[in-house]
Structures are given as C-alpha cells and as structure tokens.
C-alpha cells in the first residue's frame, strides 16, 4: 500500500486484523448495511450491540430480530439508562455542563459509555475489532475511537462510512440488492437524529439553512412555543449535593425524574436550542 494511503492511527483495522467484529448497531439503514458489508468485505463474523440510553420510540425486539436476520452471530440489547444517568448525566448537572452556553451535551455524554460497553462485549465475544457508524467528520468518531483506544488498546476500530464510497442512494441500492429491510421514508434523506434520555439533536438538510426556520416535523418531542398551553405550570425539583432527587416533593430515581420533567417541559415548549 502506498504510504500516502496508509492509515495513520494504529487502532484502525486493516483487513488482516479483522476476524470477528463487535458492531454498534442501531437497526437503521447505515448500521444494517454495515452488518452485511462487513461480512461481505472482510469475510468476518459480526456480533451486534445495541445500547439503550433512553431513545424514545425504539422497539428493541425488532432491532434484535433484524440483526439476527442479517446474519449477526448474536445481538445484545443493553439497558444502560441507569448507568448513563448516574455516572454521566448527574455529574454534568452538578457541573452545569453546557457547550457554547446552550448545548447540553447529551450526545457527547453518551458516546464514552457506548464505547466502554462495546469494549466489554467485544472482549466477552472474542472480537478483535469494534465497528461503528460515525462518518469522517464530526466529534463522535473522536469520542468513540479515543475511548476504545484507551480502554481496549488490543482492539481495532472499523468505521465503514469513512471507507466506503456510498451515499444514501447507494446505501439504499445495496440494501435492496442484499434484501436488507428498508423502512418507509428511506428514499428521502431524513434529518440526522441523535437522542437519549437527556436530549435530542437534529441536523442536516434545511435545518442547516440559517436563513429559514426549521420545519415543523423537526419538533417530534417538543411542542412549539406558539402551540404550547397559555397557562403556566409550576414544578419543583429537589436537589441533594447538586443531584436532583425529587419532583414536586416525590422522591424519584434520576431516570424517571428526567422522563417526567422532560414530558412536562416539552408540553410547554421548553427545551428548544438553536445551536450553530
């Protein structure tokens, strides 16, 4: 291989390194294509891992069934909501952690935990490589790659989207050719959505056109302020040592407390951040 084309990071997988892969699997188009592509391109076995951090509306039985249908040796669904809330969200609340004075870092907080679990399950299943769906731009690849390199230095990383020459239309064609189920609306590139119990971010398409407001279908979880109730609602959150512990006097675990506060806040149009 010419020097100019060699990978510069020692943790990135070469074809000879790949025998069994732990794939971080969401069940969407990208990771479903990856599951087949890794088997085909590297002639490798694939174990899928899906991490539940509180993403709304997910049917994890369907996600697991799809992974097994596409040839995964196994698919583990890990409910990591409690650990996420306790070890990542709670310290962020104590620190008033925000980026750019407004963005509450929910995607950033989740990535190290996802990568930590990937290392654990890769070792458990004798995998030599961890694959993820990050593209060649943005911070997510850094968060996941760096965490894997720190916690599992013997493991290699595979990021198919950084390697293949497929856009969305090519991915859909590949999916149809390999009989990968394509959900409704895949022909229209959707917004890129990342979510967990701490928040949701949407980006791409017209959302990134700063001269026009975001379209209505961006607001799937929160009511637009113009459509929110005119009557106010007072809530009281109790704290102990910087950690929220109660809502209106009722002691709650952090996951349930966040869910309940989010539901009430979203009903009143609270929580919309336009971050550029």
| Residue ranges making up the domain that contains 269 | 222-276
Q: How many helices (H) and strands (E) does the chain have?
A: 9, 10
Asked whether the beta carbons of 156 and 13 are under 8 A apart, the reply is: yes
Q: Residues with catalytic annotation?
A: 30, 111, 140, 192
Give domain status of residue 143, yes or no. Answer: yes
Give domain status of residue 116, yes or no. Answer: yes
Query: How distant, in Å, are the alpha carbons of 143, 216, 230 from that of 133?
Result: 13, 27, 42
- Identify the domain boundary among 177, 211, 243: 177
What mean pLDDT comes out for the span 92-110? 89
* Domain co-membership, 92 together with 167: yes
* Domain co-membership, 96 together with 167: yes
pLDDT of residue 4: 47
pLDDT at 41 > cutoff 80: yes
pLDDT of residue 13: 76
pLDDT at 3 > cutoff 60: no
pLDDT band of 190, cuts 50, 70, 90: low
- HEC states along 111-170? HHHHHHHHHHHHHHCCCCEEECCCCCCCCHHHHHHHHHHHHCCCCEEECHHHHCCCCHHH
What mean pLDDT comes out for the span 162-188? 77
Give domain status of residue 264, yes or no. Answer: yes
pLDDT of residue 189: 45
* Domain co-membership, 151 together with 93: yes
pTM equals 0.89
Asked whether the beta carbons of 49 and 23 are under 8 A apart, the reply is: yes
Query: How distant, in Å, are the alpha carbons of 3, 76, 94, 106, 140 from that of 109?
Result: 36, 21, 14, 5, 10
Average pLDDT, the chain: 88
Give domain status of residue 242, yes or no. Answer: yes
Within the chain, residue ranges assigned H as helices are 29-42, 60-69, 81-84, 90-94, 106-124, 140-151, 160-163, 168-177, 254-267
- Identify the domain boundary among 177, 192, 210: 177
CA distance 26 to 30: 9
Give domain status of residue 245, yes or no. Answer: yes
Count of CA atoms in the C-beta half-sphere (13 A) of 213: 6
* Domain co-membership, 257 together with 146: no
- Identify the domain boundary among 158, 177, 196: 177
Give domain status of residue 192, yes or no. Answer: no
* Domain co-membership, 81 together with 144: yes
Q: Which has the minimum average pLDDT: 7-11, 15-19, 41-45, 254-258?
A: 7-11
pLDDT (tens digit per residue) in 129-151:
999 988 766 687 889 999 999 99
pLDDT band of 186, cuts 50, 70, 90: very low
pLDDT of residue 136: 63
- In total, how many domains does the chain have? 2
Give domain status of residue 187, yes or no. Answer: no
What mean pLDDT comes out for the span 183-201? 70
């Amino acid at each position: 291989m010419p020097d100019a084309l060699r990978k510069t990071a020692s943790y990135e997988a070469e074809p000879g390194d790949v025998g069994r892969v732990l794939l971080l699997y969401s069940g969407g188009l990208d990771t479903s294509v990856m599951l087949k592509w890794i088997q085909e391109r590297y002639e490798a076995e694939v174990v899928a891992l899906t991490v539940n951090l509180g993403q709304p509306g997910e049917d994890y039985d369907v996600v697991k069934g799809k992974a097994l249908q596409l040839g995964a040796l196994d698919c583990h669904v890990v409910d990591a909501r409690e650990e996420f809330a306790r070890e990542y969200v709670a310290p962020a609340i104590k620190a008033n952690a925000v980026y750019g004075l407004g963005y509450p870092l929910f995607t950033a907080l989740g990535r190290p935990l996802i990568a930590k679990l990937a290392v654990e399950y890769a070792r458990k299943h004798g995998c030599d490589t961890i694959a993820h769906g990050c593209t060649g731009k943005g911070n997510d690849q850094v968060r996941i790659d760096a965490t894997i390199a720190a916690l599992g230095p013997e493991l290699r990383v595979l990021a198919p989207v950084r390697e293949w020459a497929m856009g969305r239309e090519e991915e859909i064609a590949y999916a149809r050719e390999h009989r990968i189920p394509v959900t409704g609306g895949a022909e229209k590139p959707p917004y890129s959505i990342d979510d967990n119990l701490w928040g949701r971010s949407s980006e791409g398409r017209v959302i990134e056109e700063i001269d026009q407001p975001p379209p209505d279908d961006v607001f799937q979880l929160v009511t637009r302020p113009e459509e929110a109730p005119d009557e106010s609602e007072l809530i009281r959150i109790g704290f102990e040592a910087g950690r929220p512990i109660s809502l209106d006097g009722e002691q709650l675990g952090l996951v349930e407390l966040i869910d309940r506060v989010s539901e009430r806040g979203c009903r009143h149009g609270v929580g919309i951040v336009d971050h550029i």
